[in-house]
Amino acid sequence: MHSTFYMIVIYMAVMIGIALYVSKRKVKNSTDFHLAGRSLGPFMMAGTLAAAEIGGGSTIGVAARAYGDWGLSAGWYVICAGVGIFLVSFVAPFLRRSMATTVPEILARRYGKPSHVITSLLGFATLFVATAAQIKATSSIIQTVSGSDLVTVTILVTVVVTAYTMMGGLVSVAFTDIVHILFITVGMAIAMPIILHGAGGWSEISSLIEQKAPEKLGLTLVGWKTIIGLILMYFMTFSTGQEAVQRYFAAKDVKTARLGSFMCSILMAVYGFIPAIIGLVALAHFDGINPNQAMPMAAMTFAPWFIAGLVMASVVAATMSSASGDLIGACTLFTKDFYQKYINKDVSDRKLVIISKLVILIMGLASLWIALDESIGIIPLLVFGFTMRSAGPFAAFIFGFIHKNATKNGGLAAIVAGSIAAFIWQYLGEPYGVMSLVFGSVVSTIFFFLVSKIEISMGKKPAPPAISESDAADYLNSEKG
């Protein structure tokens, strides 16, 4: 256990080293800090996008669901995310051509201040809580495998994530994400067959599971309704969430945005069933354990200590990359959509970078306080936050790029009605198994087209386009540059 802990500490030190190197060489202005200078190539974009979306849920969480109720079909959790990213590939050209920095910025261009304020608040609050959740998840994992004091570990994790995010912004996050995703995918791919072999091989594992719960060897135990629901959920959250969309804004060009998104989807699809198989190893050999311990126990029992360390470092990489992605996303929303838009429009570029770093520091400290408070139910709050963040704005954001006859009130009505519908559906316990996010997005879409159509028929002028002529010109100039 102590060896595993030392491996994780060394890994964290490497992340700080990378951030120091990158911040000195790559960050010259606020565009570099928030958008990596809009210079991400396809491999860099695919890696940072995958690292941002493969978190604790796609590692520890998938193994836990495989051990618990979904069996092998838990792998669909990640594969559906890959399909969602693939669908966003078709939206990627609009995102990159917008020359925007945040999602609310695009909504403000088309629908005005009320829509901007609502979506900014929803996005910032959600990512702020998400940062605390990922820090808490990372700390719990390290504490479990090391036996160290949880408070000390939580402080260490917060310091590391806050430090490397603050040093270089999205540039540091992107470079460290490449290391994260290599640890996650390559590390798990190496570890899984070793763990499987140590546990007796697939024939032994499947034989033991056949005696306990044979249905858990099926690929569709989770059900097609859930699979389709997950795909819709991921498409909606990835296409409207700042932590994902910011990567598309940072792509070198439209072709890169589309290609990077496609490559990310392939990577996630290939990775999908690896943690599920590790969860099945635990199911075959351990009865009555906490499902969240399925992956750590399987790794530590059936693999050499350095492979077990590699697995746990991979899990830590997954949660840390998600934490840093959420942190830089929340910082960008606050800095660009609150400070620069409403407080100091004429702020200098140098001062904006300083303020951004200060915001990250303050948010890191606040996230630490939340993560240490055991009375706060972060996970339910997190799920609710992501639902509210995406359900209402979905139609206004996505269809706002292509529907010329959308009106300002149509966009605002979609945001408000979709958010209220998602809240009510969540409160009712998601009747008929329909996710609140999906229900809210459907309501959002109906209100978007209905209100816009009524207003246009009454002689109301359409809202200005999300991508103006100046945005298109800026994009073309950036390509030439």
Averaged pLDDT, groups of 10, the chain, 481 residues long: 69 82 81 87 90 79 88 92 93 90 92 93 87 82 76 89 87 82 84 93 93 90 88 89 90 92 91 91 90 86 84 80 86 92 90 92 90 69 77 92 93 95 91 89 96 94 81 61 54
In a domain, 447, yes or no: no
Torsion of Cα atoms, 340 then 344 then 347 then 349, to 10°: -10
Give pLDDT, residue 422: 92
Alpha carbon 468 to its chain centroid, in Å, reads: 28
Question: Do the Cβ atoms of 5 and 312 come closer than 8 Å?
Answer: no
203 touches 191 (CB < 8 A): no
According to the model, what pLDDT value does residue 226 have?
A: 87
Query: Does residue 468 belong to any structural domain of this protein?
Result: no
- According to DSSP, residue 183 is labeled I
- Let me know if residue 130 belongs to a domain: yes
Contact 272, 59 (CB under 8 A): no
pLDDT at 32: 86
- Chain centroid offset of residue 422 CA: 20
The answer as to whether 393 is a domain residue is no
Q: Would you state the pLDDT for residue 405? A: 93
* Domain around 347: 2-379
Structural domain contains residue 392: no
The pTM of the full predicted model, rounded to 2 decimals, is 0.86
Closest CA to 108 of 471, 355, 474, 417: 471
Q: What's 68's DSSP letter? A: T
Please give the pLDDT value at position 395.
92
* Within a domain: 336: yes
Q: Is the CB of residue 390 less than 8 Å from the CB of residue 416?
A: no
- Domain tally for the chain? 1
Confidence (pLDDT) at 288: 86
Whether residue 163 is contained in a domain is answered as yes
Asked if 170 and 329 touch (Cβ cutoff 8 Å), the reply is no
Question: 105 lies in a domain?
Answer: yes
3 state SS of 406: coil
The CATH number that applies at residue 150 is 1.20.1730.10
Question: Can you give the pLDDT at residue 4?
Answer: 67
Torsion of CA 286, 288, 292, 293, to 10 degrees: -40
Q: Are 462 and 456 in contact (CB under 8 A)?
A: yes
Q: Which residue has the tokens 């804004």?
A: 249
* The pLDDT of residue 42: 92
d(CA 129, CA 382): 6
